[in-house]
Amino acid sequence: MDKNFLKNIENVTGVKADNILQVAKSFQQADFKDEKTVRNLIHQISKMANKPVTKKMEDQLTKAILSKNIPNLNELKKKL
């Protein structure tokens, strides 16, 4: 992956590039049909980004991912 791209993401999010790669790897191996796995990934990303996720938002994200109706980034930003 392009180092400049990762550095830009790191600068914007405050999340270290190594952590980004670790999460990307876990996404590749994740079973997005399993609710527990999806919720664990949401918690992991929330902690890494230091952005709390309410139970309501977690439920909405989980439902969207399980139904393959994943919101786009702009929609998510509005909710945060």
Tell me: the pLDDT tens digits for 12-60? 778 888 887 888 787 787 888 899 999 998 998 888 888 899 999 999 9
Cβ atoms of 70 and 64 closer than 8 Å: yes
Would you say the pTM of this structure is higher than 0.75?
A: no
Distances in Å between the alpha carbon of 52 and those of 12, 23, 67, 73? 17, 17, 23, 17
Which of helix, strand or coil describes residue 62? helix
Return the residue matching tokens 């991912």. Answer: 65
